[in-house]
Amino acid sequence: MCKDSTLIQIQDMLVGVIEKGTAKVVKSDYFPIAGKTGTAQIASGGGYSDYYVSFCGYFPADDPTYTCFVGIRKPRGVPSGGGQAGMVFKNIAEQTYVKRTQLAPEQARIDSTLQKMPAIKSGSWGNSQAVLSMLNFKSSVSDSASDWVKVKYDSVAYHPQALAINKNSVPSVLGMGAKDAVYLLEKSGLRVNLTGSGKVVSQSFTPESKLIRGTTISITLR
Q: What is the pLDDT, as a whole number, of residue 164?
A: 83
Sequence-separated contacts (24+) of 173-177 with Cβ below 8 Å: 173/122, 173/200, 173/203, 173/219, 174/122, 174/200, 174/201, 174/202, 174/203, 174/207, 175/121, 175/122, 175/150, 175/199, 175/200, 176/121, 176/122, 176/123, 176/200, 177/121, 177/123, 177/221
Q: Residues of the chain with pLDDT > 90: what percent?
A: 75
Q: What is the pLDDT, as a whole number, of residue 22?
A: 85
| Residue 114 confidence (pLDDT) above 70 | no
Contact 172, 208 (CB under 8 A): yes
Q: Please report, for the chain, the start and end positions of each structural domain, with discontinuous segments joined by +.
A: 4-99, 117-163, 167-222
Burial degree of 82 (CB within 10 A; 0-12, 13-18, 19+):
buried
Pairwise CA distance, residues 27 & 33, whole Å: 7
SS3 202: strand
* Range scoring the smallest mean pLDDT among 13-27, 71-85, 118-132, 137-151: 137-151
Rounded to an integer, the average pLDDT of 60-64 is: 93
SS3 198: coil
Class of domain 167-222: alpha beta
Sheet bearing 123-124, strands edge to edge: 123-124, 148-153, 158-162
Pick the more confident residue, 197 or 114.
197
DSSP string across 133-180: HHTT--BPPPSSS-SEEEEEE-SS-EEEEE----TTBPPP-TTB-HHH
What are the tens digits of pLDDT across the range 172-207?
999 999 999 999 999 999 999 999 999 999 999 999
* Range scoring the smallest mean pLDDT among 52-61, 109-118, 129-138, 201-210: 109-118
Q: Does pTM top 0.75 for this prediction?
A: no
What are the tens digits of pLDDT across the range 127-147?
999 999 999 999 998 877 778
SS3 42: strand
